[in-house]
A and B are shown apart, each in its own frame.
Chain A
Amino acid sequence: MNLQNLWFVLIAVLWSGYFLLEGFDFGVGMLLPFLPRDDEEQSAMFESIGPVWDGNEVWLVTAGGATFAAFPAWYATMFSGLYIALLAVLFFLIIRVISFEWRSKSKSPRWRRVWLWANAVGSFGASLIWGIAFANLLYGTPINSSNDFDGTFWNLFNGYTVVAGLAVVAIFAFHGATYLTLRTQGDLLERARQAARGLSLLAAALGAAFLAWTVVVAVNRNDKSAFPPLLPALIGIAALVLAVVFVYLRREIWAFTMTGLGAIAVIATLFTSLFPRVMVSSTDFANSLTVSNSASQHYTLQVMSVVALVFVPLVLLYQGWTYHVFRARVGGPSGQPT
């Protein structure tokens, strides 16, 4: 495998990490207005992701930075082309990030309600737009011969991309619910289980529809044969179906593993469907950005490979340790989040 392809895979891994990890904290955020009955339970839900959301979000920062370094043309076209979409993502992420530190800083119920909703709306909005944005890379956007986007915001919406957005929202909400079944206790745990059951069929149905449609789009619009994309799509569909089963069987760790796999399958299927292109042009297929025409020079990729080889395992090690430290369930009868 040459370095360009390796970096295409690594970018997919970074985005997968982002979907796997921030996926459940977005999900917890979306459930904030619905699950907790009182302020204490709301705090418990915040605390369930409190120690880890920031580390999870760094996967996004790193995915963005790595795309900039390894595929400058992809980064430039994607970020300028999806301008309004990314503007909205930034808006949602900003209000959400701040809600974590600020909500607890006043007793006023109105203040706390505002930041709770900021987190929920931010989580929902960011998930929806990430889904739509990634689906557009494959579905194709107007890209001209100088590799620049020349469409409008409304070009980003069509049946497929909207289903993608909704599927990502549903999968993340489901993923968040299964996470909560591992991290809460008492009444809140009971309601988290209910939410997981309630969301499971919807997420599996939307997820399966999106993954299957992705393979169709890959064949029709990106000149792919069905096989390679079909593999991650089927794994994703199987994982989501198994997640439904495990949720009903109350096998919580397994259910969470499967929703996580479902979140990863979104990226894996999209990236497998994209390769060797990174952004399909709907204006003229020849204008599409490819791995080779958007990649950095060999030396940059070499340097970045060494950096990734050293630091990615380290990051996994200490992030894993963080999850181990905060494995205890939050909230509960004592009412004191410890």
Chain B
Amino acid sequence: MNLLAASTTVDLARAQFATTSIYHFLFVPLTLGLGPILIVFQTAWHRTGKEAWLRLTHFFGTLFLINFAIGVATGLVQEFQFGMNWSVYAKFVGNVFGAPLAIEGLAAFFLEATFLGLWIFGWNRLSPRLHLATLWIAVAGTWLSAYFILVANSFMQDPVGYKLENGQAVLTNVWALLGSHWAYYAFIHTILAGLTCGAAVVFGVCCWHFARNRSVEIFRPAAKVALIVLVPVSCANLWFGSHFGILVTSLQPMKISAAEAQWNDCQKCAFSLFQIGGFTQSDQTPSFSIEVPGLLSYLSTGSFNGKVTGLTELNQQYEKQYGRGNYLPPIEAIYWSMRGMAYAGSLVALVSIIGAFLLWRRRLERLRWFLWLGVVTIFFPFLASAFGWCLTEIGRQPWIVQGLLKTSNANSPAVSTTWLGISLGVFVSLYIALLVLDIWLMRRYAGRDPSDPGEEPGGAPPAPAIGY
């Protein structure tokens, strides 16, 4: 009975962490990616003086801010819940993990929050050049912020720069921590994902206006900018993500083999695009699957001829190293997360390439079926991000810090199942309510005519189109 209560407590704490992280990361990549596109718009206005760029800055700036608020709010939950739900973890890693979190606040988040405030309200108070600079600085702050948070997360995947002392991880080399290979890979992957999200939103909104034949003149340059970002970035991220897989294989082989449901050691291993069954120890052979020969070896080792260690063998190795037990993560969940991420990401790349081709042939604005596809494509990079985090975090199980501390031992002993249930209920209801309102607001603001700021819903005065 006690064991049951203990396991539900951990499950509830995990459910809360997963919900908050996934939710938080719907808004974060948009901030990371839309920010630089706003920079392009406002810098273009600054350079050319063309009114259209200013209108685009205001238009997408408003969409940016509607979402930024939720990102900030859920970021607080992210920071607090390490202590609230995972106090054993917090004590265990605080020496190491706390540092990048604190540095993030001091070096990045202050920058982002302060300069964004200056940007929102500074339109008439700062010189145009200085005002433009505040946006550059705020966006730099968001990227720095992502870096420090990913440094912290990387310690959970691939702990570096530490030693164990009295049952705690203790920082020994901050440069090793900040220079973690994992963090660099995760940072580039995340930034590319963010840019994909931002550009996909801009492109989708443009498509929506083209499809309804509204404000076409104004959105034409925006669509161009969006595609110039989207095509290389979404393709690069597919390549980079698969390259990241090679690093993951060397540091967390279990994650990759589990993501492929690869039970046995193999060479020239095939990658299954889709399979039915084969996800449990008792049922290791799928009853149906579509395979691409050699691709798994390529993805995890960089060579079509590479050798991949299977789950059974890996579990035996882990047992030798860490003692008897089951070290397999939930296989089916991460098998599909991996595919959800890859397929959603590929779809974005495909749509953007077709979009660029159509733009070049001057047919984009009239091809209605494609325009609606462009609108729907808004959702794919966000799906890909969510699946990506599921793969990373579920794939790390049963560890909360790879090889050092297990998730099942890391939650707060002071927090009862009831409290956790209540807080999960509160957060989930709040998140759902906010998401509904957010989508409603986004639809409303994304659909308005940027050339006529006097007609904005909310009746904001024309001068500070962004404001309270």
> Are A76 and B94 in touch, CB under 8 angstroms?
yes
In the complex, chain A residues 17-62 whose Cβ is within 8 Å of any chain B Cβ: 43, 46-47, 50-55, 57-58, 60-62
The reply to whether A107 and B91 form a contact with Cβ atoms under 8 Å apart is no
- Contact residues of B with A, CB < 8 Å? 62, 65-66, 68-70, 72-77, 79-80, 82-85, 87-88, 90-91, 93-99, 101-107, 109-111, 113-118, 120-122, 124-126, 165, 168, 170-172, 174, 412-415, 419, 422-423, 426, 430, 434, 437, 441, 444-445, 457-461, 463-464, 467-468
Max chain B CB contacts within 10 Å: which of A73, A75, A146, A328? A75
Q: Which of A170-178, A198-206, A245-253, A308-316 contacts B (4 or more CB under 8 A)?
A: A308-316
Within 8 A of B (CB), among A99-139: 100-107
Contact pattern, A 80-105, Cβ under 8 Å of B = 1, otherwise 0: 11011011001101110110111111
Can you show 16 pairs from A to B with CB atoms below 8 A apart? Answer: A54-B114, A65-B105, A68-B98, A68-B102, A69-B94, A72-B94, A75-B82, A75-B83, A75-B98, A77-B414, A79-B80, A93-B73, A94-B74, A103-B468, A105-B441, A105-B458
Q: A61-B105, A296-B94 in contact; A79/B69 too (CB < 8 A)?
A: no
Range, interface on chain A: 35 or more
A149 to B415, CA, bound (A): 9
CB distance from B40 to the nearest CB of A (A): 23
Q: What residues of A have a CB within 8 angstroms of the CB of B426 in the complex? A: 87, 91
Cross-chain contact A50 with B415 (CB below 8 angstroms): no
Chain A residues contacting B113 (CB-CB under 8 Å) are: 54-55, 57-58
Once the chains bind, are B98 and A69 in contact (CB under 8 Å)? yes
Summed over the interface, the residue pairs from A and B with CB atoms below 8 Å come to a total of 254
Q: Which of B85, B90, B461 has the most CB of A within 10 A?
A: B90
Known: A319-B110, A338-B124. A300 touches B99 (CB 8 A): yes
Q: Write the nearest CB–CB distance from B324 to chain A, whole angstroms.
A: 27
Using A50-B120, A76-B90 as known contacts, list a sample of 17 further A-B pairs with CB atoms less than 8 Å apart, ordered by residue number in A. Answer: A53-B117, A54-B117, A58-B113, A61-B76, A68-B90, A75-B82, A75-B83, A76-B88, A79-B87, A80-B415, A101-B65, A296-B95, A296-B170, A318-B111, A318-B115, A325-B118, A337-B464
Quote the shortest CB–CB distance from A80 to chain B (angstroms).
Answer: 4
CB-contact partner of B117 in A50, A148, A304, under 8 A: A50
Structural contact, A308 and B106, CB atoms closer than 8 A: yes
- Please determine whether B468 and A50 come into contact, CB atoms closer than 8 angstroms: yes
- The 4 closest A-B CB pairs, nearest first, are A72-B94, A79-B83, A69-B98, A62-B105
Q: Does A154 contact B (CB under 8 A)?
A: no
**Residues in A lying within 8 Å of B, measured CB to CB:** 43, 46-47, 50-55, 57-58, 60-62, 64-73, 75-81, 83-84, 86-87, 90-91, 93-95, 97-98, 100-107, 146, 148-150, 296-297, 299-300, 303-304, 307-308, 311-312, 315, 318-319, 322, 325-326, 328, 336-338
Neighbouring A residues of B460 by C-beta, 8 Å: 104
Nearest chain A residue, comparing its CB with the CB of B71: A97
B105 A90 Cβ-Cβ under 8 A = no
**Chain B residues with CB below 8 A from A297, complex form:** 95, 165, 170-171
Is B69 in contact with A97, judged by CB distance below 8 angstroms?
A: yes
Contact partner, B94, options A75, A80, A148, A326, Cβ 8 Å: A75
Q: How far is the CA of A67 from the CA of B65 in the complex (A)?
A: 30
Given the known A-B contacts A79-B80, A86-B80, A148-B87, are A100 and B69 also in contact in the complex, defined by CB atoms under 8 Å?
Answer: yes
Chain A residue with minimal CB distance to B166?
A: A297
* Bound: A76/B77 CA distance, A: 15
CB-nearest residue of chain A relative to B88?
A76
